[in-house]
With several copies, the nearest count.
Chain A
Amino acid sequence: MKARLDEQTIALRAAREFADGSVVNLGYGMPGLCADFIPEGRAVFFQSENGMLGYGNLASDAEKDYEMINASDQPVTPLPGMCFFDSAAAFDMIRGGHIDVVVLGAYQVSEKGDLANWGRPGRPATGMGGGMDLAAGAKKVIVTMLHTTKTGEPRIVKKCTYPLTAARCVTLVITDLAVIEVTGKGLVLKEIAPGWTVPEVQALTEARLIPASDLKEIEL
């Protein structure tokens, strides 16, 4: 059966990339869901650029504290060993290379790993938040997004037409159709959604995909 992954499943797949003991920052929107899918037995420390390291799950209604929010303005819960700091210190940590993985949403990713995730036509007053800092500073940049736009246009493109967040920063792209690694040779198609073929995914992708020799179905 041919299926597209839902947002929860994309987040689940992304969370599998979090190594034991790693420091992870989750961007605005879909990436935030990853917090609920940490693989069993792994310790992951979530950093949030508003000044917190080591927080827990999203808060239930009863737990909600509006002075305890992640960078998506969602109340989260405290965990032992966590700490708070100010915005300048948070970005020292980010630019200084102490974030192992950042998961970001995107409008477009190019075949070279360029990322466009903040500006779009008709909305000149939006901004990049901490996205540029995170894309420039994190060791590994994972993009989670839908493979195509609402109108079916590819988001994985030869060259970004939307304003860039950072050039050549993306490591891995996880969509509702595929897991794609950005390499020096180009975009390597590592995993594919159940029931989909390589030509079908390529048809929805502007950039050329190089099927991996060990290409497999997305594992969950």
Chain B
Amino acid sequence: MPVNKVFKSCDEAVAGIFDGATIMVGGFGSYGGLPINLIVALSRQGAKDLTVIANMGGVGFELSKRIKPGGYQDLGVLFEHGQVKKFIGSVPALGGMPPDSPLERMYNEGRVEIEVVPQGTLAERIRCGAGGLGGFYTPVGVGTVVAKGKEKKVIDGKEYILEMPLTADFALIKAHKADTLGNLVYRRTARCFNPVMATAAATTIVEVDDLVEVGQLDPEIVVTPHVYVHRIVEVKQ
């Protein structure tokens, strides 16, 4: 029978994430689709020198109070704990907020490297890596800082730049439901980067609102097939 993918806690699920690992973290902004329980478990677990690939760098608990009453945890906690050496994403920090997010502070202190990537290019680089491709030409970023140092090509009279694939050792993602095999469905805009990242990591770890038995998910509506999912934790809302 297939290996058991169901873990009892987020702490158990993030065990084995090693120093220096590349980690994709799903979600979009600083909430909604963010696998926050896995992120917090990783901050407890303590792995260091991580390369984190995520759409946004998070605002951290202090700034979050400006967004949502009472505040909340987000990706910022990994920077606060000094676990990250490099961030790859489209919004390291929000220009509309003070420069006090944990990532922006660390960056300004020279303690973390940032690679800023247009959001669609980020999604496509991940899909490219997941699909075993070597790179792709995109018109996005032509004539901007994003094009710096990248191969350029004119195709049918239009300018493109070459973007390279992204893959990861681990992906931390959030889904709505999983069956015990690992088939996943998402809820509303909490889908965002989660299904894309799920396909691009050697080990994909998912937290779900509901864990159901095999056969309980309609085969037509599964978004992430189980071959992409390695560890599942149910975190009831």
Residues of A participating in the B interface, judged by any CB pair closer than 8 Å: 20-21, 23, 28-29, 41, 43, 45, 47-54, 65-69, 71, 73, 78, 80-88, 90-98, 118-120, 122-133, 136-137, 163-167
Residues of B participating in the A interface, judged by any CB pair closer than 8 Å: 1-3, 28-33, 55, 57, 67-68, 89-96, 99, 101, 103-104, 107-108, 114, 116-124, 126-127, 130-133, 138-146, 179, 181, 183, 186-196, 199-200, 214-215, 217, 219-220, 222-223, 225-228
Chain B residue, CB-CB nearest to A163: B145
Bound Cα distance A39, B33 (Å): 33
CB-CB under 8 A from A163, the residues of chain B are: 144-145
Bound Cα distance A208, B202 (Å): 38
CB-CB under 8 A from B192, the residues of chain A are: 50-51, 86-87
Bound Cα distance A167, B146 (Å): 13
Bound Cα distance A69, B32 (Å): 7
CB-CB under 8 A from B57, the residues of chain A are: 125
Cβ B225 vs Cβ A95 within 8 A: no
CB-CB under 8 A from B107, the residues of chain A are: 124-125
Bound Cα distance A71, B101 (Å): 19
Given contacts A94-B120, A95-B138, A125-B103, 12 further A-B contacts (CB under 8 A): A47-B227, A51-B28, A81-B215, A83-B220, A83-B222, A84-B191, A96-B131, A126-B91, A127-B89, A129-B90, A131-B118, A133-B119
Partner of B67, one of A51, A65, A73, A82: A73
Bound Cα distance A80, B187 (Å): 16
Chain A residue, CB-CB nearest to B194: A86
CB-CB under 8 A from A51, the residues of chain B are: 28, 189, 191-192
Bound Cα distance A132, B139 (Å): 10
Lowest 9 A-B CB distances belong to which pairs? A91-B120, A80-B215, A95-B132, A133-B120, A83-B222, A21-B2, A92-B131, A130-B119, A67-B190
Partner of A164, one of B1, B144, B190: B144
Residue pairs across A and B with Cβ atoms less than 8 A apart, 27 shown, are A21-B1, A29-B96, A66-B32, A67-B33, A68-B189, A69-B29, A78-B188, A80-B214, A81-B181, A81-B214, A83-B219, A87-B28, A88-B124, A93-B227, A94-B132, A95-B131, A95-B138, A96-B200, A98-B228, A125-B114, A126-B91, A127-B92, A129-B90, A136-B132, A136-B139, A137-B140, A167-B144
